[in-house]
Copies of this chain bind each other. A is one copy, B any other.
Amino acid sequence: MTFFEKLKRSQEKSKSLLCVGLDTDSRGLPDILKMEANPVIAFNKAIIDATKDFACCYKLQLAYYEAYGKKGIDAVEETLAYIPSDILTIGDVKRGDIGATSEQYRYAYQEMFPFDSITINPLMGSDAVEPFLQREDRGVFFLGLTSNPGARDFEYLELTNGKRLYEEVTDKVREWNTAKKNAGLVVGATKPDELKALRQRAPELPFLIPGIGAQGGSLEAVLEANGDGLALINVSRGIAGVSKGSDFAEAAGKAAQNYAEQMRAVLSM
């Protein structure tokens, strides 16, 4: 199954655009898990059990697993294996490098850890990202317009060709997507006006939209701006971080259900 097909099927089955972010910090887990051999794995499995009926996607922010050393490697492997096969997975790695080095990253995050898709930083250009786009069954979300204040420093810069840098990136991602329909764009939820304009600019691209909740993005505004475009709307702390008590999984499940029901109401899914 191609990446594009898997993405669409995961949304049809779940009737949801919700991507649950597993940014699991080993140093901030509920006390009830502290006696587990690998508390991060236990936490992720409990969150997946509680949210899998409302999610079309799980996204692992690799930084948290890298900071956990060898136990982090176990956690990525076991979490990936535990996610139901009809739900999409994203490895949020934001890598970007050249030639032989990109091939190593490709192996790490498409083969060793078999993520359905990964995030990639496009700054170094076409030859740097090309290795990640070789497999039709593996997707790549490129950083387009991010949700943080620092996006003003470079992403918004005006070019002499009349575009802003993030628009130039978007146009390039559209080119990269033509061969295998496996490229998408990261667009922050905190910028609904720009999201709406990017949706018109690139109607065919899947968007990964982080920044709902803790970062200040509004689900309602994002749904309106995105219209009927193919999108994954990520929520991390607003689901997996709602409670630190023994009810952490139940609370995550309720939060996920709430997000999914808002989506279903607006989109008539």
| Interface residues in chain A, defined as those with a beta carbon under 8 Å from any beta carbon in chain B | 23, 25, 61, 63-64, 66-67, 69-70, 73, 94-102, 104-105, 107-108, 112, 121-129, 143, 146-155, 157-161, 165, 168-169, 172
Question: For the complex formed by this chain, how many copies does it contain in all?
Answer: 2
The chain B residue sitting closest to A237, CB to CB, is B100
The answer on a CB contact under 8 Å between A63 and B104 is yes
Set B67, B121, B169: member contacting A104, Cβ < 8 A: B67
The answer on a CB contact under 8 Å between B25 and A104 is yes
Known: A63-B101, A157-B168; 20 extra A-B contacts, CB below 8 A, are A23-B100, A23-B101, A63-B105, A67-B112, A70-B70, A70-B73, A73-B73, A121-B121, A122-B153, A122-B154, A123-B123, A124-B150, A125-B151, A125-B152, A125-B154, A154-B168, A157-B165, A158-B161, A159-B159, A160-B160
23 A-B pairs with C-beta separation under 8 A: A61-B101, A63-B102, A63-B105, A64-B101, A64-B104, A66-B108, A67-B108, A67-B112, A69-B73, A69-B112, A98-B150, A121-B123, A123-B154, A124-B143, A124-B150, A124-B151, A125-B148, A125-B153, A125-B155, A127-B149, A128-B150, A157-B165, A159-B160
The answer on a CB contact under 8 Å between B148 and A63 is no
The answer on a CB contact under 8 Å between B150 and A127 is yes
A144 smallest CB distance to B (angstroms): 11
Give chain B residues whose Cβ lies under 8 Å from the Cβ of A161. Answer: 157-158
Most buried by B among A101, A124, A143: A124
CA distance A95 to B93 in the complex (A): 8
Set B95, B127, B143: member contacting A148, Cβ < 8 A: B127
Give chain B residues whose Cβ lies under 8 Å from the Cβ of A102. Answer: 63
The answer on a CB contact under 8 Å between B160 and A148 is no
A212 smallest CB distance to B (angstroms): 14
The answer on a CB contact under 8 Å between A169 and B146 is no
Give chain B residues whose Cβ lies under 8 Å from the Cβ of A143. Answer: 123-124
The answer on a CB contact under 8 Å between B66 and A105 is yes
CA distance A159 to B162 in the complex (A): 9
The chain B residue sitting closest to A74, CB to CB, is B70
Give chain B residues whose Cβ lies under 8 Å from the Cβ of A66. Answer: 104-105, 108
The answer on a CB contact under 8 Å between A107 and B67 is yes
A99 smallest CB distance to B (angstroms): 7
